[in-house]
Amino acid sequence: MTKPIIFIQGNYRAEFIEKIKASATEYRVKTTLIDEDLEFVEISVGWDKKNEQQLLALSPLKWVQAISAGVDYLPLKEFEKKGILLTNASGLHSISISEHVIGVILSYYRGLNTAQKNQLAHTWDTDDIHYDQLSGKNMLVIGTGHIGEKLAKSVVSLGVNPFGINTTGHTVDGFIETYSMKNLAKIIQTMDIVVGILPGTDDTFHIFNNDLFSQMKPSAIFINVGRGDTVHTRELTETLQNKTIAFAALDVFEAEPLPADSPLWELDNLLITPHISGLTKHFQTKLMQIFLPNLTSFVKDGSLAKNQVSLKKGY
């Protein structure tokens, strides 16, 4: 009988390919496919729009290991219909994204953005430097998954007070207090720093809009490292143009790359980063810490040990 295939999409190091082979001897491991392979692909590591239709139509897929935390770009309904299991890479980007968030906050609070603009113009100017103190600030983390929890724990020794928002308001390690989503508009009023780390779902679409921005302090700052479409871009643009809030940093956008004619490019009180907050050193090592235990478990009894995504919820 021809062995089923684990299809590895991407350039993984030989040591990891060997480990995968050793963990699943009844599978063949392939990093490229020829047409004859398609009918044997049961497991895919990574997912690419380029071969999505082909794999869905022709392969007996049983399990997809995504290499991202968010999975809204995957055909979740198709997976559900076909009984394809999905695991994500949640947790893998926690340190990177936490460090990114703290970095963009301090860049603003310590006047580094302005200093760098002045540096590019070879200008020594202290008059236009804005500065503030991070220590003592209230931070609201909206979305208290792996990343949110890591962020809350990372700011402890910086003297920040981390509060959390999640669907039900259940307690999460690292937060002083967590609230349910329905309390968001009230809680946000007392916050200095508001961080969005939400997955893209029907419930979170455009959740960051005027109704919320208008409740924030004029000195407050907003950071989004979740999904781009959780932000109502036009309303945030107006909010920043009117300086209703002081500053924002966006790493994700409704359209990526950010279109050349986007008014966001022109805003002085916005830091734009090109979806880089998750860039992670030792990415493969960290991904394999999720995939390999899952593979062992899957081969044994078809179950997955960690990071399984609810296809209904989308996270």
Q: What is the CA radius of gyration of the chain?
A: 22
Considering beta carbons, is residue 225 or 311 the nearer one to a second copy? 225
Closer to a second copy by CB, 18 or 125: give it: 125
Binding mask 269-308 for a second copy (x = CB under 8 A): --xxxxxxx-xxxx--------------------------
Apex 193 CA angle, 135 and 209, nearest 5: 175
Smallest distance from a second copy to CB 239, Å: 18
Query: Which range binds a second copy by CB under 8 A, 79-87, 120-128, 212-220, 304-312?
Result: 120-128
Asked whether position 210 contacts a second copy by CB under 8 A, the answer is no
Q: Decide if residue 118 touches a second copy (CB under 8 A).
A: yes
Nearer residue to a second copy within complex by CB, 96 or 294: 96
Which one, 136 or 302, has the nearer CB to a second copy? 136
Binding residues with a second copy: total (CB under 8 A): 53
Closest separation between CB of residue 309 and a second copy, Å?
25
Tell whether residue 241 is a contact of a second copy (CB under 8 A). no
**Do residues 184 and 132 touch, judged by C-beta distance below 8 A?**
no
Q: State the minimum distance, in angstroms, from the CB of residue 169 to a second copy.
A: 24
Q: Exactly one of 4, 46, 60, 111 binds a second copy (CB under 8 A); which one? A: 111
CB 189 within 8 A of CB 212: no
Could you tell me which stretch among 1-9, 39-47, 80-88, 264-272 binds a second copy (CB under 8 A)? 264-272
Pairing of strands 41-45, 85-87: unpaired
Per-position b or e across 35-73, b if 16+ CB within 10 A of its CB: eebbebbbbbbbbeeebeeebeeebebbbbbbbbbbbee
Amino acid making up residue 78: E
Q: Smallest distance from the beta carbon of 103 to a second copy, in angstroms?
A: 3
Would you tell me how many other CB atoms lie within 10 Å of the CB of residue 88? 23
CA 92, chain centre distance (Å): 10
Structure tokens belonging to residue 142: 């909206």
Say if residues 208 and 222 touch (Cβ distance below 8 Å).
yes
Q: For residues 233 and 236, what is the distance between their CA atoms, to the nearest angstrom? A: 5
Q: Can you read off the two tokens belonging to residue 283? A: 């990415």
- The yes or no reply on residue 185 touching a second copy (CB under 8 A) is no
- Of 5-13, 51-59, 67-75, 148-156: span binding a second copy (CB under 8 A): 148-156
- Roughly how many angstroms between the first and final C-alpha of the chain, as a whole number? 36
Report the alpha-carbon distance of residue 193 to residue 162 in Å, rounded: 9
Task: Establish if 131 lies at the interface with a second copy (CB under 8 A).
Answer: yes
**Given the complex with a second copy, which of 185 and 279 has the nearer CB atom?**
279
Binding site for a second copy (CB under 8 A): 95-96, 99-100, 102-104, 106-107, 109-113, 115-120, 122, 124-126, 129, 131-135, 153-159, 256-258, 260, 265, 271-277, 279-282
